[in-house]
Chains A and B, each alone.
Chain A
Amino acid sequence: MPLDAIPVVVINTSESTPLIDSGLSGNAPVLLREIAELLQRLLTSDEASAIDLRALPLTPADLDWLRQALGRGQVVATLEAEGESTLNETVCPGVWWVTHHNENGAVASEFIEVTYVPELLKAHPDDVRIGLEHLELLISDLS
Chain B
Amino acid sequence: MQGPLIDTLARQGVTRRTFMKYCATLASMMALPPAAGRAMAEAMAAAPAATKRPSVIWLPFQECTGCTESITRSHSPSLEGLIFDAISLDYQETLMAAAGHQAEEALHNAMKENEGKYLLVIDGSIPLGLDGAYSCIGGKSNLESLKEAAKGAAAIVAMGSCAAFGGIPKANPNPTGAVSVSDIIKDKPIINIPGCPPIPVVMTGVLAHFLTFGSLPELDSKGRPKAFYGETIHDRCYRRPFYDQGKFAKTFDDEGARNGWCLFELGCKGPVTYNACATVKWNGGTSWPVESGHGCLGCSEPDFWDAGGFYKALSMPADPLKFASTAAAVGAVAGVAISFANRGKKSAAKSAHETTTLADLEK
Contact = CB atoms under 8 A, between A and B. Distances in A.
A59 B238 contact: yes
B260 A10 contact: yes
Contacts of A81: 15, 17-18, 21
A107 B286 CA distance: 8
B250 interface: no
Contacts of B15: 81, 127
A108 interface: yes
Interface stretch (B72-80, B97-105, B296-304, B335-343): B72-80
Contacts, number: 97
A27 B245 CA distance: 13
B66 interface: no
A50 B28 CA distance: 11
B285 interface: yes
Interface string B9-47: 000001111101110110011010111001000000000
Contact of A51 (B34, B259, B285): B34
Nearest to A111: B34
Contacts of B237: 57
A8 B260 contact: yes
Interface residues of B, number: 42
B279 A85 contact: no
Interface stretch (A29-37, A68-76, A96-104, A134-142): A96-104
Given A55-B31, A109-B25, A20 B20 contact: no
Interface string A1-16: 0010000111010000
Contacts of B28: 52, 54-55, 109, 111
Contacts of A54: 28, 279
Interface string A38-71: 0000000000011110110111100000000000
A59 B279 CA distance: 12
A81 B9 CA distance: 13
Interface in A117-143: 119-120, 124, 126-127
A49 B75 contact: no
A120 B241 contact: no
B34 A49 contact: yes
B287 interface: yes
Given A55-B279, A111-B34, A100 B17 contact: no
Given A49-B34, A82-B76, A106 B21 contact: no
B246 to A, nearest CB: 10
Contacts of A102: 75-76, 284-285
Interface of A: 3, 8-10, 12, 20, 23, 25-27, 49-52, 54-55, 57-60, 79, 81-82, 85, 100, 102-104, 106-109, 111, 113, 119-120, 124, 126-127
24 contacts: A8-B260, A20-B245, A20-B247, A23-B260, A25-B241, A49-B34, A50-B34, A50-B35, A54-B28, A55-B279, A57-B236, A59-B260, A79-B17, A79-B21, A81-B15, A81-B17, A82-B79, A85-B21, A102-B285, A108-B25, A113-B34, A119-B20, A120-B21, A124-B16
Given A54-B279, A82-B79, 15 more contacts: A20-B259, A25-B241, A50-B34, A51-B34, A55-B28, A57-B241, A81-B15, A82-B76, A102-B75, A104-B284, A106-B285, A113-B34, A120-B20, A120-B24, A124-B1
Q: Which 5 A-B pairs have the closest CB atoms?
A: A25-B241, A50-B34, A81-B18, A9-B260, A109-B25
Interface of B: 1-2, 6, 14-18, 20-22, 24-25, 28-29, 31, 33-35, 38, 75-76, 78-79, 236-238, 240-242, 245, 247, 255, 258-260, 279, 284-287, 291
